[in-house]
Amino acid sequence: MALRKSYQIYAKIGFKALQANKPYILLIFVFFIWGMAVNAQDRPKKTPLNLEFKKDSLIKKTDSIPGTVLQDTTKTDSTAADSLKQKPFLLDVITYSADSIPMSRKDHRIYMYNNAEVQYQDYDLKAGTIIIDYTTNEVYAGRIKDSTGSYTQTPDFKQGSQEVKPDSIRFNFDTKRAIIINSRSEQNLGEAFNVFAEKTKKENDSVYFMKEAKLTTSETPDDPDYYIRIRKGKFVPGKKVIASFSNLYLANVPTPIAVPFAYFPMTETRTSGFIMPTPGQNNQRGYFIQNGGYYFAASEYFDLALTGDYYTNGSYGLRAESSYKKRYKFNGSFRIRYENLVNSQKGFDDYSRSSIYNIQWSHSQDSKSSPNSRFSASVNLGSSQYYQESVNQLNTSNFLNNTLSSSVSYSKTFPEYPSLNLSLTARVSQNTQTQSVDATLPSLQANLERIYPFASKDGAKKGIFQNINFQYSMSADNQINTTDSLFFTSKMFEDAKFGVKHTVPISTNFKLFKYLSTTVSGTYNDVWQLQTIRENNYDPITGLQTRDTLSGFDRYGTYNLSASIGTTIYGTFRFGDNHKIQAIRHVMRPSVSYGYTPGFDQYYDEYIADEKGTTVEYSRFENGIYGAPSIGNSNNVSFSLSNTLEAKVRDDKDSTATEAKKITLLNSFNLNTSYNIVADSLKWSPLRITGGTQLLKNKMSVNFGTTLDPYAIDNNGRRINTFNINNGGSLFRMTNANVNVSYSLNSKSFSGDGDDKDETDNTASGGRNDDLFGKSQDFSDSRTMNNENTKDKNTPTKYYANELPWDLQFAYSLTYSNSNRQNEITTNSLMFSGNVDLTEKWKVGVSSGYDFKEKGFTYTQLRFQRDMNSFRLNFNYVPFSSRSSWYFFIGIKSSILSDLKWEKRSEPSRSF
């Protein structure tokens, strides 16, 4: 054995009883060992294991490889082993330390007591007491008793990233096997997963056999509120647990929930596996299983979940969902849902069958991946009645959606001067009430950068001439108007309209009289169409007047001229620094513009419309997507005035503030009207007034608008060329008005924290991003519920007392109509939602509304949630309406054991 310094003692070999023919050598060796033991007790440092002895001339090193045994070459008998054939016992250095390290030559053991630690390769063992047997290369570790008789310094056995905390352990360095008593291992799988076992046999580095084991994800593993008891099992850390008979215990009380064998996957990465279905019963469709299927963890870039429902009356549903992401490139998700719904049974009068579907796709691109091009998608299309008829829990609160919108676009920029931007977009808009579909498939837009041909070389632009500029833009659209039943069929293209429009605006701007900003511009438009119309004269034989649609290229060109003058006027009213309101500033932006559009009568013809010979003018371009050119001259003078109102207010709450605080009293107050110079009647257009403001620290938003008509109407409700004031009325006649108010606040709104409510993201199901229409939730889907139940375990439990966390939001809408003297309130409704945390564990919420016109409550949802540490209890209730239903759920919060759940729901009552 090689000699080393006194403060470094290592053991590279397995220990075996040494023999010598010289007795005095053995005596010197024993005294040396005793001296080393005394030195180890005096200096309780972290010292490696080694046994030193005087070098004997008869003993030599047989091999320089660490871990080999040194043998005496003097033969004692004919059966002495050849040292050159001895296999290594240890492959690395054993390092150990403790407060007390006595050694027993007789027992061939090293005893370590109090704060003992042994390190070998990637093994690290800490315990109150450790015993090393250097003849068998085994180590035993256990606890020690303190002065009160309690056990302390429980063994902590680590191998790489795996850690076990037993009461005692016996481990062999050669075979890597171990016997572990009362072990506890925590698997970090994104959430704590604890494995307890009364007795564990470590077969190798990756396989453990357990007897009387417990599995739990409880936040209090020493006293879990639930666990799964396993009689016998095989444990592969970081991968799986395969168990024999297992059953669930709640608060140490066994339950009848048991299985003859079980498989628990354990991995920090996503893995493929089955999604357990939820059984239940529906009064209309019989017994069912829902949301069962398979999850494919295809790669680190995307996944796929295939799930489905089946009802005993023949109804079924299929769903495919996928999420994908490539860092610094793009991310998105795709969902397709199909349901075949059967009502009643064949042979009954109320039997019906329908198929509904819904497709959702969202895609966003990282702006850094390609600065000059971008692709995005936001798709939500399908059957118009999907949200109304679907039995999926996620769609409960989305049946109020009246419009489904989809858009997919790609844009490309060519940055060289002059830069050109191209974009290709496909749009689809569905009205779920009328089942009409308006689509633009596709729309191509091209925009050329603004060019200043007369600007100086240094880029400066002064005066009228140098500010002259022009642009070019082109749009090509293919518009389709169809219905829900014809969508995705060849008939949807029968009435498609295609057109191309080229636009070239030319303008310049300058200052007039120093304060007036003046702009003069002109625009040329050139429209191309592939279809035109021809109106036929009235046929006295058939009594019909017909129209022909002509295919072929045709075009028309138009132009217009305009000029505008505007300025900005500031008015400040000061009240003094000793007042609460120190000053008010009024900003006005008046503008007057003139527009001239000549008549393009050359594009118009006449036809005889009836037997009386009535002639009607028409343009062959009337049916085009960009409309027909104007007929007759148009000379319009438009007037607009925009206003903003701000105040400077002394902040009495902040004693350290040195300046007054600025607040906005009126975000906008706009007036618009126009006058047609060449019109023979009704020259003034109605006056439109709009405005909006933010109140209560921007928590309340108020928007309003009204239309005032200066002309009177006849008995049939048609405008006549007589001012309303000359007809015995007021100066203006209010034809309509509207006001919308929304308010959002929470328990921190008045404390100065200013924290806003985190809105629930319902967009995954295609609905709103707030809960005014209720929350769309599927409690059995851990993928959508885990984020709502994530909290910091280090945060101490709080008793709310009189500081209950809450949030509230409401939206009020009022519309008044009087275009034909009906003097009617057409809409008058209030919607509200609120959530309150009664305790840290109890949460309640409500979403509802009241229609003051129809005198009834709108869609109402009551929500209850109870956090039971490891379990989660939810109950949603819709008390009335055609969607009246309830949904109860209780299950384990951990996604690892999310299949341990029980849920019960009732289907919406369609007969309400």
Report how far residue 619's alpha carbon sits from residue 599's, in angstroms, rounded to the nearest whole number: 12
Report how far residue 809's alpha carbon sits from residue 830's, in angstroms, rounded to the nearest whole number: 11
Report pLDDT for 61: 33
Indicate the pLDDT class of residue 145, thresholds 50, 70 and 90. Answer: confident
Residue at 780: amino acid letter: S
Report how far residue 492's alpha carbon sits from residue 513's, in angstroms, rounded to the nearest whole number: 58
- Find the mean pLDDT for residues 23-46: 39
What 8-state DSSP symbol labels residue 538?
P
- Find the mean pLDDT for residues 784-810: 60
Question: Which neighbouring-strand residues pair with 519?
Answer: 509, 564
Is residue 427 within 8 A of residue 437, CB to CB? The reply is no
Is residue 845 within 8 A of residue 834, CB to CB? The reply is yes
Indicate the pLDDT class of residue 29, thresholds 50, 70 and 90. Answer: very low
Report how far residue 709's alpha carbon sits from residue 728's, in angstroms, rounded to the nearest whole number: 14
Report pLDDT for 777: 58
Judge whether residue 68 has pLDDT over 90: no
Among 270-279, 472-481, 633-642, the least confident range: 270-279
Report pLDDT for 41: 39
**Which pLDDT tens digit goes with each residue over 280-304?**
777 677 788 888 899 898 888 899 9
**Which pLDDT tens digit goes with each residue over 6-20?**
333 333 333 333 344
With CA atoms as reference, report the closest residue to 886 among 910, 857, 907: 907
Indicate the pLDDT class of residue 886, thresholds 50, 70 and 90. Answer: confident
Locate 825 and state its tokens.
């309130």
**Which pLDDT tens digit goes with each residue over 667-721?**
999 999 999 998 888 999 999 999 999 888 788 899 999 999 999 998 888 899 9
Residue of 45 and 446 predicted with greater confidence: 446
Report how far residue 9's alpha carbon sits from residue 424's, in angstroms, rounded to the nearest whole number: 76
H/E run at residue 871: strand 871-878
Report how far residue 532's alpha carbon sits from residue 519's, in angstroms, rounded to the nearest whole number: 37
Is residue 497 within 8 A of residue 623, CB to CB? The reply is yes
Residue of 81 and 890 predicted with greater confidence: 890
Is residue 532 within 8 A of residue 621, CB to CB? The reply is yes
Among 41-55, 651-665, 871-885, the least confident range: 41-55
Judge whether residue 895 has pLDDT over 80: no
Q: How far is CA 909 from the centre of its chain?
A: 31
Q: Would you call 85 helix, strand, or coil by DSSP?
A: helix
Question: Which neighbouring-strand residues pair with 107?
Answer: none
User: For the chain, which residues make up each domain, given as ranges?
Assistant: 271-371, 697-905
Indicate the pLDDT class of residue 455, thresholds 50, 70 and 90. Answer: confident
Report pLDDT for 784: 52
Average pLDDT, whole number, for the chain?
80
- Which residue is listed with tokens 């080229």? 502
Report pLDDT for 881: 77
Report pLDDT for 623: 86
Residue at 421: amino acid letter: N
Report pLDDT for 710: 94
Judge whether residue 56 has pLDDT over 50: no
Its pTM stands at: 0.66
**Which pLDDT tens digit goes with each residue over 564-589?**
999 999 999 888 878 888 899 999 99
